[in-house]
Amino acid sequence: MKSSRRTFLKNTAAVTALLSADSVLKPLNLFSRNTETANPLAIPSPFSGNSFTIEKKMNAVWPGAPLTETFSLTGNYPGPLLKIKKGEMLSINVKNTIADEVTIHWHGMELPSKMDGHPMDAIAPGGNFTYEYPIVNRAGTYFFHSHTHGKTAEQVFKGLAGMMIIEDDEEQALDLPRGEYDIPLLLQDLRFDANKQIDYNPTSLDRMVGYMGDTVMVNGTPNAFANVKRGLYRLRLINASNSRVYRISFKDKRKFHIIASDGGLLTKPVETDVLMLATAERYEILVDFSAYADGSSVMLRSEEFEAPTHMGMDPDFPQGMPMDILRFDINGEGVLKSIPQTLSQIERIDPQTAKRVRTFELDMATSMVHTINGVLYDMHRIDETVPFGETEIWEFKNTEDDMLHPMHIHGVQFQIVSRNGNAEIPAHEQGWKDTFLLYPSETVRVILKFDKYDGTYLMHCHNLEHEDDGMMINFTVDKTAGVDHPHFKENISVHPNPCDQYAMLEFPAAHEERELRITNSTGQIFFKKNIPAGSKSIQILVWQIASGPYFCTIGRESTKLIIAR
Ligand code: C2O
Ligand code: CU
Ligand code: CU
């Protein structure tokens, strides 16, 4: 079966080409829409209340068509726009009036675990819960959405998602476009039936690949257009789709500047004409419309890209198909600002300060569902214990050669260390992130530290069909964890450490053969050896490896190894 799969992006070069600006893929117009039927883009004004009611509601989504049933938050489809300042307290009482349980997750937030919308903390039908936490994140574009056990995909698809903008003094001090020149754009690709009702009926192929639609909704508006002036605009792109990845560009290949990623401002603007936007990722871009003539239009779209076919099968609206997103109609003189040369300071976490590498292998189980380290999600099982305040590298290895997995970690903002061992990651990925796209057969390392809250959080694939099917784990950030804690042991001991010519490793025996690897922080391998089943120690010769910090990994356990001479 494996050999018949179409291979896709096997090597770093291909991945780099997809991530970079100059792609040679030619656009198709298969799915271009009829421009006469465009609808004015809904731009929500900031929500000022302190309670949400989750309800089933008939909303006017398609002009001149029957009302569409959605899941709404206080009548809003999609959910309202929250605007809040860093340092303020968010407090929102959520009432659940629908027949299913619901939790609301605040994507990207560093917050107490009880406020994170974990599926264990579901609000029962008829119940309510007050989410309350201080905003500690940097200024940026975030969002919130349903995270209900096994029902996240359906509930998000039907509208349980909303935008969140955090402001802080640093960002406010910059001369960036504001007011009508600052437009948040929540993207979702939906399917509708003949009566313009949201059609969420994934087949087994859709569940394996992800459910994708043919209509891009922007802030809940289908076939949207926006009136803009000849000025500089800030667009906040939020991919709230179930599984659609957008290759964002303008139809005329106009250049734009990326100024912020998931966790806020980058250090400086990154100029490009194309941007991959995976599910749950956010990027803010600056676009200059001043060169367009009055009365002209330009389409923001997702241009075609080569995406993997799943075992030779494509769903109805495949990943990578070209799609129109939002038409900008340009009219009138606008405010033209110059783009700041520097935006913010980001201290890169030195990968050498990591205490260990935690590895996650993503694979497809025989039951045709995607797993993390061979297991499916169990709400009551803690899969990893992470010591509070310790810097770690998390390594994600996609063993599937035909599947994109946008990976997301709750309760933290991290930095990408390397893609396939290459530390030279694209400039727009060098800021703070909470989600990244893991390409087929790719290995990505990120670096992080949980130093604000302890408790249980989630890590999962943000393809919502994958997530609902169990591609998710629980991890607990533990303040008492340490070498002697029963829930957390450094399983590999190294003597001597630092070492010079050789080192002795001791570890618990296993029933099966395991691989021992010595890598540097980016994942480059310097030494490899198989450890026979039952073995509890091994001597390794390191005299050929240059001095420096390394990680020694056996199976999924790892520890730091210093070579010094
Ligand atoms: Cu955007 Cu676990 O979620
Ligand atoms: Cu999240
Ligand atoms: Cu996935």
Q: Share the mean pLDDT of the chain.
A: 92
Ligand 1 touching residue 408 (CB < 6 A): yes
Residue 485: its pLDDT value, please?
A: 60
3-state secondary structure 508-554: CCCCCCEEEEEECCCCCEEEEEEECCCCCEEEEECCCCCCEEEEEEE
Find the mean pLDDT for residues 496-510. Answer: 94
Cα-Cα-Cα-Cα dihedral sign, residues 87, 265, 396, 2: positive
Q: For residue 307, give the amino acid letter.
A: A
Residues 101 and 364: their CA atoms lie apart, in Å, by 29
pLDDT digits (tens, 9 = 90+) for 284-326: 999 999 999 999 999 999 999 999 888 788 899 999 999 999 9
Residue of the CA atom closest to atom 1 of ligand 1 = 107
Atom of ligand 1 lying closest to residue 107 CA = 1
Residue 310: its pLDDT value, please?
A: 80
Atom of ligand 1 lying closest to residue 458 CA = 2
Give the three-class secondary structure for 351.
Answer: helix
Quick check: 93 pLDDT over 70? yes
- ∠ CA 47-459-264, rounded to 5°: 45
Q: Structure pTM?
A: 0.92
* Ligand minimally distant from the alpha carbon of residue 147: 1
Atom of ligand 1 lying closest to residue 460 CA = 2
Residue 332: its pLDDT value, please?
A: 97
Quick check: 463 pLDDT over 50? yes
Structure tokens at 107: 């994507």
pLDDT digits (tens, 9 = 90+) for 351-403: 999 999 999 999 987 778 999 999 999 999 999 999 999 999 999 999 999 99
Find the mean pLDDT for residues 553-562. Answer: 90
Structure tokens at 496: 């001597």
Residue 308: its pLDDT value, please?
A: 85
Sequence-separated (6 or more) residues with CB below 8 Å from residue 3? none
Residues 189 and 250: their CA atoms lie apart, in Å, by 18
354-379 b/e (C-beta count within 10 Å ≥ 16 → b): bebbbbbebebeeeebbbbeeebbee
**If you measure from the C-alpha of residue 139 to the centroid of ligand 3, how many angstroms do you get, rounded to a whole number?**
28
β strands within 374-468, DSSP E: 384-387, 392-398, 405-409, 415-419, 435-438, 443-448, 455-461
Structure tokens at 490: 């450094």
Residue 81: its pLDDT value, please?
A: 97
Residue 484: its pLDDT value, please?
A: 56
Residue 7: its pLDDT value, please?
A: 36
Residues 149 and 357: their CA atoms lie apart, in Å, by 29
First to last CA, the chain: 49
